[in-house]
């Protein structure tokens, strides 16, 4: 009887030892799989990284070319692109884009701030921009806060020669049946853009 209990005890210990060994083996395999999947992830990241760096460094226009809604040129070599025109739920429209300085020096956006006295504190900005609703025959001025500051980009320090910088401007939203507007600032030609609904 004692011999049977001893054998049962040994079998139980053997079963525990085997189970422990199997668990360690599985954990060890899992660890190497995780390592391989980490290596796979890093190799897939590194394989996708060149394409990203190619987009970022090699040809930035490739990335933005797909999203450019309108582009106009003027003012001695400036290029203005509109990349987004979104009607938001709050009753305003946000226009975003880029400006590229192809002039022969630094560009400070002097005549983009507008002529209104209220906009005098908005130097080197896009405060003079307007949205024109041709259908409704109405012009929308840029939104301002209570101190007269525009809800728009200020080009602090100007834009260096050959550089491209991003900008944004917010306007009151035209009626919901207006789907296309003209964006215009300074001496640049108007850029016609389709409005999209915000999420």
The DSSP-derived string for the chain is: -HHHHHHHHHHHHHHHHHHHHHHHHHHHHHHHHHHHHHHHHHHHHHHHHHHHHIIIII-HHHHHHTT--EEEEETTTEEEEEEEEEE-TTSEEEEEEEEEE-SSS-B--GGGS-S-GGGGG-TTBSTT-EEEETTTTEEEEPPB-TTS-BSB-B-TT-B-TT-EEEEEEEEEPPPTT--EEEEE-TTSPPEEEE-EE--
31-40, 91-100, 148-157, 187-196: segment of lowest average pLDDT = 31-40
What integer pLDDT is reported at residue 151 of this predicted model?
94
Q: How far apart are the first and last CA of the chain?
A: 78
Going across the sheet that includes 191-194, the strands are: 138-141, 130-133, 180-184, 191-194
The pLDDT-based confidence of 113 (bands split at 50, 70, 90) is confident
The pLDDT-based confidence of 5 (bands split at 50, 70, 90) is very low
80-89, 110-119, 122-131, 143-152: segment of lowest average pLDDT = 110-119
Architecture of 64-197 per CATH?
Sandwich (2.60)
34-38, 45-49, 114-118: segment of lowest average pLDDT = 45-49
Q: Between residues 150 and 47, which one has the greater pLDDT?
A: 150
pTM greater than the 0.75 cutoff: no
């Amino acid at each position: 009887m004692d011999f049977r209990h001893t054998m049962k005890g040994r079998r139980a210990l053997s079963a525990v030892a085997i189970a422990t060994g199997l668990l360690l083996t599985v954990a060890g395999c899992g660890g190497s799989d995780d390592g391989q999947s980490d290596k796979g992830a890093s190799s897939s990241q590194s394989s996708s990284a060149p394409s990203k760096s190619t987009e970022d460094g090699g040809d930035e226009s490739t990335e933005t070319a797909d999203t450019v809604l309108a582009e106009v040129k003027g003012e001695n070599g400036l290029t203005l692109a509109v990349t987004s025109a979104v009607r938001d739920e709050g009753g305003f429209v946000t226009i975003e884009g880029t400006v590229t300085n192809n002039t022969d020096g630094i560009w400070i956006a002097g005549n983009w701030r507008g002529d209104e006295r209220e906009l005098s504190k908005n130097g080197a900005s896009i405060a003079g921009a307007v949205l024109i609703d041709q259908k409704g025959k109405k012009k929308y001025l840029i939104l301002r806060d209570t101190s007269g500051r525009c809800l728009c980009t200020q080009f602090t320090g100007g834009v260096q020669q050959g550089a491209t910088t991003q900008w944004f401007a917010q306007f009151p939203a035209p009626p919901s049946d207006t789907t296309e507007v003209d964006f215009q600032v300074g001496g640049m030609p108007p850029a016609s853009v389709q409005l999209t609904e915000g999420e």
